[in-house]
Chain A
Amino acid sequence: MIFADDAARNSSRELLRVENLAKRYDGETAIARVSFSIAAGEILGIVGPNGAGKTTLLEVLAGLLPAEQGVAFWCGEELPQQRRKEALFYLPDGIRPYQDRFAIDVMTFFARVYKRTEAQVAATIASVGLTPVLGKRVHALSKGFSRRLLLGLGLLTPHDVLVMDEPFDGFDIRQTRAIIDVIRQEAARGRTFILAIHQLADAERACDRFLLLAGGKVRGIGTLGELRAKTALAGGSLEEIFLALT
């Protein structure tokens, strides 16, 4: 379901808008007519259970999967699929890039590609807490440090929008809070985040707005307050709202 008033409310500082994205796998609908918009510096959580279509939505959005239908707009201008990588950077779930290389080598590679200074690299490494494992090979990293490495790579990119699939998977509660702080600091500097999260509690802590996805369809979109008003669940948690809408 699309909330037109929500889009209108944000249109003045709207950075990215997506209209009617659709994707099918072998005749089965993965995502159906998904539309949303996001403002600069906002953290949008795409929330839904496993199989809801979150990853497909992110990959279609990032241009890594061909879509059957749909358009994306960047600051009001159409952003064709082949130019998405100029505006968005997508960090997939469950990958360990360059497993035989050392963590510092992978960070250095991204830093050199995007012409980052040593000070910027050092600050990024410190912010995501990668320092203890810089001399380890990627395949030897724990799941949590592997996530931190990915986040570090994302932060080294100059893109305005970072799209992350399950960014808190593999973290305990303290680590999740620390990573949320990092994301919030980046958002405060103007970076925009689209996070696909299946843990509703994590999403509630991390995100400004939520897109509730189930069966490939948008079931609701808005801030927690807006969703509470829509479901008439004053004081309801995101979990209760999600159950009410799906």
Chain B
Amino acid sequence: MRSHEPYRARQAPLAPLLAKELAEIVCGRALWTMLLLVCPLIGYSFVQAVSLYGEASASAQQSPVLAASLSPLDGILVPTFGSFYVAVTLLFPFVAIRVLGQEKESGALSLLVQLPYRSSTLILAKLTAVLAAWTLVSIPALSALAIWAMIGGHLAASETVNLLFGHLLYGLLVGAIALFAATIADSSATAAIIALAVTIGSWVLDFTLAGHSGVAAFVAQLSLTQVLRPFEQGLFSAGLVLGGTGAIAGLSALASVWLLPGVATQTKCIRSVPCVLATLLTLGLSTQIRQTIDVTEDRRNSFPAADQRLLATLRLPLIIKVYLAPEDPRYGDLQRNVLAKLDRAMPNVLIVLAGSRRDAASRPANDTYGEIEYSYGTRSDVSRSTSPREVLPLLYALAGVQPPAAAPGDAYPGYPLVATADATLFWFIGGLPLLIAGAWWWSRRPPVISLFTCKGAQP
């Protein structure tokens, strides 16, 4: 006789749920189609990147200065993974939506939510499936890295891992957006429209508002593309990682709130408020965290080590007033060569952008345009240079410290490689797609059914 004790949810094992989610995503056509589309896309980008890098390397063979500017991060990794970024932005939402959309459309969701799992567990299992899907679709890009290493190319471990981590964070963010879209939408088609509106919308935002100042610059900062920028520059930003992780967690929490079908919309809205507030708080907190690590081999985001150490000891506030319009190319140089590095090296830096588009237009009438005013403690000085060679001595003079002696032997040698990867195109348009098609066929093979199950047994 049955005991009539309610079945307790906490006893359910996670393994079958995870196995089901992974099998579901592998069963779908979206994943395999994306993999097949990504192969030629990444292959072409990689071959082009190697070709251009090889040409530049040929010119650099006689010039050590030119060779020092050749970094595989800029020349190979970023262009190759750039096409992967495009694929993830445009195609990955379709893969991620499937982890929930299919169940919603077939009615399986009504069974799934009755299983002894919390909705947060269900969403986490689905996010794990999204992570597995991202890992699979990154295979062509990873194979490009392997080929680069095989033809003699240099890969700096820290740069490579950092870039991969950035793409993983971006992929999971796109996946979480798609998952949340699938949760609130009635159909996969609607979910795809919502997810693509966010991903492509933020992409367009990034393009159209690039180089603007004020509110436009702030809005452009909200673009998803901004997640990847520091990683492509070889920076590991703690704030960005916290913000990205917070956004993924927030979207997942919202998805678990909106997943349950038996809850009134008003209640779901009320339950969403803490999730939204916690996410906004995390995002706000992440903007305040300025810790970054320069993982590049050429230390492009940092001053020489001796300068870094000395600048770190300058504790007073450094106020930099820049009389340049944001769209002025000199501002870009200054930002890249001086401001960003100072911001990372010194504990207390305030940058004030005093120039505007109008100032740039009326430049002849405005003598201060182009000036950069540095104030440290009670002393200040003005310069028009965008080079650290001139700015750093100026700062040391303001602080009353002796410039450090240049340390010999830490110059970046550069990694020129005269090579062509044209032949590897056959791998990306032939070998790898064939392997993927084979794996797809293998994944669809009928299961082995035991004789015991077929005959039936008495309980």
Asked if A101 contacts B459 (CB within 8 A), the reply is no
Asked if A153 contacts B111 (CB within 8 A), the reply is yes
A168 contacts the other chain (Cβ, under 8 Å)? no
Q: For the complex, give the distance between the alpha carbons of A148 and B20 in Å.
A: 21
Q: For the complex, give the distance between the alpha carbons of A187 and B452 in Å.
A: 26
Contacts of A79 in B (CB 8 A): 6
Asked if B2 contacts A121 (CB within 8 A), the reply is no
Bitwise interface map of B from 420 to 459 toward A, beta carbon under 8 Å scored 1, else 0: 0000000000000000000000000011011011111111
Tell me the residues in window 80-105 of chain A with beta carbons closer than 8 Å to chain B beta carbons: 81-87, 89-92, 94-102, 104-105
A40 contacts the other chain (Cβ, under 8 Å)? yes
Q: For the complex, give the distance between the alpha carbons of A177 and B437 in Å.
A: 46
B387 contacts the other chain (Cβ, under 8 Å)? no
Asked if B2 contacts A190 (CB within 8 A), the reply is yes
A160 contacts the other chain (Cβ, under 8 Å)? yes
User: Among A27-35, A110-118, A219-227, which stretch is in contact with chain B?
Assistant: A110-118
Q: For the complex, give the distance between the alpha carbons of A189 and B1 in Å.
A: 6
Asked if B7 contacts A86 (CB within 8 A), the reply is yes
Q: Name the distance in Å between A31's Cβ and chain B's nearest Cβ.
A: 15
Asked if A65 contacts B262 (CB within 8 A), the reply is yes
Partner of B453, one of A62, A112, A114, A125: A125
Contacts of A131 in B (CB 8 A): 454, 456
Q: Name the distance in Å between A92's Cβ and chain B's nearest Cβ.
A: 5
Asked if B107 contacts A95 (CB within 8 A), the reply is yes
A123 contacts the other chain (Cβ, under 8 Å)? yes
Contacts of A157 in B (CB 8 A): 7
Contacts of B15 in A (CB 8 A): 112
Q: For the complex, give the distance between the alpha carbons of A101 and B19 in Å.
A: 12
Contacts of B103 in A (CB 8 A): 97-98
Contacts of B456 in A (CB 8 A): 122-123, 125-127, 131
B136 contacts the other chain (Cβ, under 8 Å)? no
Partner of A66, one of B1, B111, B263: B263
Contacts of B114 in A (CB 8 A): 62, 64, 85, 89-90
Q: For the complex, give the distance between the alpha carbons of A102 and B447 in Å.
A: 7
Q: For the complex, give the distance between the alpha carbons of A15 and B274 in Å.
A: 38
Contacts of A189 in B (CB 8 A): 2
Specify the chain B residue showing the minimal Cβ separation from A66. B264
Bitwise interface map of A from 57 to 90 toward B, beta carbon under 8 Å scored 1, else 0: 0000011111000000011000101111111011
Contacts of A112 in B (CB 8 A): 13, 15-16, 19
Asked if B107 contacts A94 (CB within 8 A), the reply is yes
A49 contacts the other chain (Cβ, under 8 Å)? no
A135 contacts the other chain (Cβ, under 8 Å)? yes
Contacts of B102 in A (CB 8 A): 99-100
Specify the chain B residue showing the minimal Cβ separation from A124. B459
Partner of B447, one of A92, A125, A135: A135
Q: Name the distance in Å between B16's Cβ and chain A's nearest Cβ.
A: 4
Contacts of A101 in B (CB 8 A): 23-24, 27
Tell me the residues in window 1-37 of chain B with beta carbons closer than 8 Å to chain A beta carbons: 1-2, 4, 6-9, 11-13, 15-17, 19-20, 23-24, 27-28
11 further contact pairs, Cβ within 8 A, besides A97-B103, A109-B16: A40-B2, A64-B113, A64-B262, A75-B4, A87-B7, A90-B114, A109-B19, A109-B20, A113-B12, A122-B456, A122-B457
16 A-B residue pairs with Cβ-Cβ distance under 8 Å, sorted by A, are A15-B4, A64-B110, A64-B262, A82-B262, A95-B107, A98-B106, A104-B453, A113-B13, A114-B116, A122-B455, A124-B459, A125-B456, A131-B456, A135-B449, A158-B7, A190-B2
